[in-house]
Amino acid sequence: MRQRTNGKANGATVAVTDVGRKIDQKLDQHSEYEFGGPWGVLAIMTGFPLLMYYLWVCLWFYDGQLVHPTSVDDIKPFLLRIWNHIREDASPNLYAWKVYSGNIFFQLFLAAVIPGFQQEGLPVPSLGYKTLMYNCNALPSLYATMITAAGLHYTGVFRLTEIIDNYGHLMSVAMIWGFAVSFGMYFIAVATGTQLRMSGNFLYDVFMGASLNPRIGSIDLKMWAEVRIPWVIVFFLAVSGGCKQYEELGYVTPNMAFMILATWLYLNACGKGEECIPQTWDMYHEKWGFMVIFWNFAGVPFSYVYSVVYMASHDPSKYQFSTPTYVILYSTLLAAYFMQVFVFNTVWDTAMAQKSHFKMQLQGITEFRKAFPQLPWNTVKNPTFVQTAHGNRLLTSGWWAHSRKPNYVADWTMSFTWGAVIGFATPIPYFYSVFFITVLIHRCGRDFERCSVKYGKDWERYCSIVKYKFIPGIF
């Protein structure tokens, strides 16, 4: 359990000032369009699903090559070929509905019944600075899911190889879920009067979201979907690929084993650090709309592990490395999580913990959750900070003394290794890292712009202390 000390941290009461309240009120009003406005979000909402289908078709049916019409006359036949692949191998069939929806409801069930670490979130301006409680039970839920899946696999009730074999069908169902939940949450928010920061444009508001803290009982849907849906599916896609290789080849390739280990480490890290999520921008500012919902339900699970899709459908000779290369890959991954030698992954794990624990300390929370594996340096002792007129404090210690977004650099580095695991056999698995760096740069700009408005000259002072956005000494 988290422990409070009368709302004090470092001997001083932390509270939002009157100036800060006025600024927060301004920030909780729609002021300008992002993402290119209504036309931009329309392009995203139609373009990304089409891109996901195209990349899957290229991986599964065209040896991972980026196919295209060979001539003007071939445009229509080319589109028909793509459509036939989607119609035959990515139809939202009953089997896919049962498997995908079954996981959704199972994860909701686990979130509702398993006891968890009770974490208090940050004060929410739109709720009169009320703090919400979060039941952080992702870690036991994830292990309950693994045990259940293993039992279903070994008893023959549900063979894990079926996941990767039905990738296209499951992806279509995931997309439908993403669209349905996005539109459904919009209408629910409007019907219940809980909408916030609305632009007045229907499509744009569906994309950005209408509600900030949607809940079913004690389950915060936004936090639940951020961990329980995308990363569970990502992990089991990798496991499914490994099972498929074992059944067909009699062994699991080192490349596939790497992805199983890598996705498990990422999933476990999300679960063990779940109590840090309530202190993030995602929870106290970003609304739950298509931008977040579709990506959690469909985008992340079905576009981040293209390397697994490729390996599951191609002969190992196409992506085989030398023994020294495998040694480097595995040593890097294991050192990142258990020996703290590889600095980028250490930063990824501890940087978020440092900032979250700092924010908790400002709320008077002095005792933190300890879940496996715990890395050193996850809490800054006697932290330095910039005191703002708003009332908040901006951390300038630990990893955050060297970069304003140290976790972004580490996160992107990991995304790159998920593509590099298949070498140069196909460029498609590198989509994750290319897309991710684009998202991070754009999100960084949004975050810094909001901080500039929120903190004014205090933000300028902070930037003069922490000069670099991502990589210390470079950028």
pLDDT in tens, 159-190: 999 999 999 999 999 999 999 999 999 999 99
Radius of gyration of the chain (CA): 23
Q: What is the mean pLDDT of residues 75-103?
A: 97
| Cβ-Cβ contacts under 8 Å for 431 (sequence gap 6 or more) | 55, 303, 306, 419
For 105-109, the CB contacts below 8 A with 24+ separation are 106/145, 106/148, 107/141, 107/145, 107/224, 107/228, 107/229, 107/232, 108/216, 108/219, 108/224
What per-residue confidence (pLDDT) applies to 123? 84
Q: Across all residues in the chain, what is the average pLDDT?
A: 85
One-letter amino acid for residue 209 of the chain? G
Segment among 34-48, 54-68, 273-287, 378-392 with least mean pLDDT: 378-392
On the question of pLDDT at 360 being above 70, the answer is: no
What per-residue confidence (pLDDT) applies to 356? 54
- Of residues 66 and 334, more confidence is placed in 66
Q: What is the mean pLDDT of residues 469-473?
A: 75
CB 245 within 8 A of CB 251: yes
Task: Count CA atoms within 13 Å of residue 453 on its CB side.
Answer: 15
On the question of pLDDT at 5 being above 70, the answer is: no
- Of residues 80 and 381, more confidence is placed in 80
Pick the closest to residue 128 from 16, 209, 216 (CA basis). 16
Pick the closest to residue 235 from 150, 328, 119, 320 (CA basis). 150
One-letter amino acid for residue 415 of the chain? S
Q: What is the mean pLDDT of residues 413-436?
A: 91
The C-alpha torsion from 351 through 138 and 362 to 386, rounded to 10°, is: 30
On the question of pLDDT at 453 being above 90, the answer is: no
> Is the torsion defined by CA of 408, 303, 332, 340 positive or negative?
positive
What per-residue confidence (pLDDT) applies to 342? 33
Could you tell me whether strands 385-387 and 8-9 are parallel, antiparallel, or unpaired per DSSP bridges? unpaired
* C-alpha 356, offset from chain centre: 17
CB 160 within 8 A of CB 240: yes
Q: What percent of the chain has pLDDT over 70?
A: 86
- Of residues 215 and 22, more confidence is placed in 215
| Cβ-Cβ contacts under 8 Å for 239 (sequence gap 6 or more) | 149, 160, 163, 260
On the question of pLDDT at 197 being above 70, the answer is: yes
- Of residues 400 and 202, more confidence is placed in 202
- Of residues 406 and 66, more confidence is placed in 66
Pick the closest to residue 343 from 366, 377, 316, 314 (CA basis). 377
Query: What burial letters (b/e) apply to 408-433, b meaning 16+ CB within 10 Å?
Result: bbbbbbbbbbbbbbbeebbebbbbbb
E strands within 125-252?
A: 133-136, 215-216, 219-220
pLDDT digits (tens, 9 = 90+) for 113-168: 999 989 888 888 888 888 899 999 999 999 999 999 999 999 999 999 999 999 99
pLDDT digits (tens, 9 = 90+) for 232-287: 999 999 999 999 999 999 999 999 999 998 899 889 888 888 888 887 878 888 89
Number of residues that make up the chain:
475
Confidence of residue 217 (pLDDT cuts 50, 70, 90): very high
pLDDT digits (tens, 9 = 90+) for 396-422: 877 777 778 777 776 787 888 899 899
Pick the closest to residue 143 from 371, 308, 450, 362 (CA basis). 371
pLDDT digits (tens, 9 = 90+) for 458-468: 989 989 988 88
What per-residue confidence (pLDDT) applies to 341? 31
Q: What is the mean pLDDT of residues 210-231?
A: 94
Confidence of residue 12 (pLDDT cuts 50, 70, 90): very low
| pTM attached to this predicted model | 0.86
Pick the closest to residue 59 from 435, 326, 419 (CA basis). 419
